[in-house]
Amino acid sequence: MRPLLALQEVPLSAGDTSWVLTSSALVMLMTVGLAFFYGGLVRPKSALNTIMMSVIALGLIGVQWVVFGYSISFSPGGPWLGGWSWVGFHGVGITADPTYSATIPLQAHAAFQGMFAIITPALISGAIVERMRFRGYVLFLLLWAALVYDPLAHWVWGIAGTGGWLFKRGALDFAGGTVVHLSAGVSAFVAAKMLGPRKDFQRAPLAPHNVPFVVLGAGLLWFGWFGFNAGSALAANGVAALAFVNTNTAAAAAVVTWGLLDLMRSGKVTAVGAATGAVVGLVGITPAAGFVSPMAAIAIGLICACISYGAIQIRSRSKLDDSLDVFSCHGLGGAAGALLTGVFASKLANPAGADGLLAGNPGQMVTQLVAVGAAIALSVVGTVVIMTIVKLTVGVRSNVREEITGLDLSEHGEEAYPGGVGIGEGVIFSATPAGSQSSR
């Protein structure tokens, strides 16, 4: 075990520590925002179940992270996995460890990264809502965090010991394009395929039941994302300011782009579409936030919005029941953002970063491609294995009666709306990640 006294005594920065702790709280708020965002997009009979899929991650992964998740993600280890020296937060003290930051306590770094570990598997729930047993989902969460998220976080962000292999290759991922969004999006695709569609998929209206919930959730996500991205600077400095500006700029560009695409396709600009566009822009800028200029952030928001919007149209005509279009928004948005980081990154924006393709370094694109490919491979293989284990043990799929009644009652014994009547039920909305065939 790594003793606490081995940590180098370094004066802490009150400003940096305050900012990272505040950012940790902001990222925690994002999981609450995700609960509202997803909860508003489903039908009223499964609204609470969908919300609980995010809430349970706060508890389950919050414990897993302290017990062993942080250790195998960030403690000194090899190129593929961290070690076990920080199990139970042993040696994770209130002084700084210069490996990650010389100005904040190691516990502040652990708390911040823990919030990332919580929200990432919760993102996957949007692809499997209204049909997965809650106990199966709980086991899936725990296994996915341990077998997919923790190793991938070490590959990209682990710098202690010999360092993660993608980190050593120079892969750029400022706040989680590959580690968070691409991995969750790809895993959502695989999980949705293995679970199969809802029984009434493409036969009944599957429109959002509560648009104000969706907009509220998106607003909380946008607000929290400032901590997600700007907090990843791990200091209250110029890079944090750059990431903050880029985060807002990309989201704004994506909202405008999504609205124009909606207007051209249907003649209307929808609230759910605007909320979805904001999330896609935030996803796209995440890996690039601290490495590109604000003008590049506009381009990233615009490009990612176009890619995800087009993917939703294609998915809506397919037999894939990725219920809330997690793959289109997070999987493709994360992949596009990671690759565009290799295009737009510039040392003029951040001297500690790297130059990308447009700055005369095509090799960075190759490195980004390797990182994207590695994240996809781990996510696919890991999710197939995990879904198989869950299916053979506690079971994954609710029965037809439970799906028709709704998972709120069958899984939790509660109803979001007495009598099963929800706000906005049956209303058809425009292009959104809500699984409604008539909305696309």
Which sequence spans correspond to the domains of the chain?
A: 12-428
Phi, psi angles (nearest 5°) of residue 137: -65, -40
Q: Position of tokens 């499964």?
A: 46
* C-alpha span between 155 and 435 (Å, rounded): 34
pLDDT for res 222: 98
14 CB-near residues (< 8 Å, 6+ apart): none
Closest CA to 294 of 348, 255, 334: 348
Take residue 241 and report the two structure tokens written for it.
Answer: 């300011």
Can you tell me the distance from the alpha carbon of 61 to that of 75, in angstroms, rounded to the nearest whole number?
18
372: three-class secondary structure by DSSP: helix
Query: pLDDT value at position 429?
Result: 34
pLDDT for 406 beyond 70:
yes
pTM of the model: 0.92
286 touches 338 (CB < 8 A): no
Is the confidence at residue 430, as pLDDT, over 60? no
pLDDT band at 345 (very low <50, low <70, confident <90, very high): very high
In this prediction, residue 425 carries a pLDDT of 43
Mean of pLDDT values over 266-293: 97
Q: What is the mean pLDDT of residues 412-423?
A: 74
Domain with residues 12-428, CATH architecture: Orthogonal Bundle (1.10)
Average pLDDT over residues 42-48: 95
Q: Answer whether 156's CB lies under 8 Å from 371's CB.
A: yes
What is each CA distance from 231 to 74, 110, 189, in whole angstroms?
17, 13, 29
Q: Is residue 438 over pLDDT 70?
A: no
In sequence order, what are the residues at sequence separation of 6 or more whose Cβ sits closer than 8 angstroms to the Cβ of residue 260? Answer: none
d(CA 53, CA 191): 15
- Which of 82, 237, 239 shows the shortest CA–CA distance to 155? 82
Model pLDDT for residues 187-241, shown as the tens digit of each residue: 999 999 999 999 988 888 788 999 999 999 999 999 999 999 999 999 999 999 9
User: Tell me, what's the pLDDT at 435?
Assistant: 41
What is the tens place of the pLDDT at every residue in 282-339?
Answer: 999 999 999 999 999 999 999 999 999 999 999 999 999 999 999 999 999 999 999 9
Mean pLDDT of 376-392: 98
d(CA 143, CA 387): 9
DSSP code of 417?
Answer: S
pLDDT at 431 over 70: no
By three-state DSSP, how is residue 397 classified?
strand
Between CA 386 and CA 69 the distance in angstroms is 17
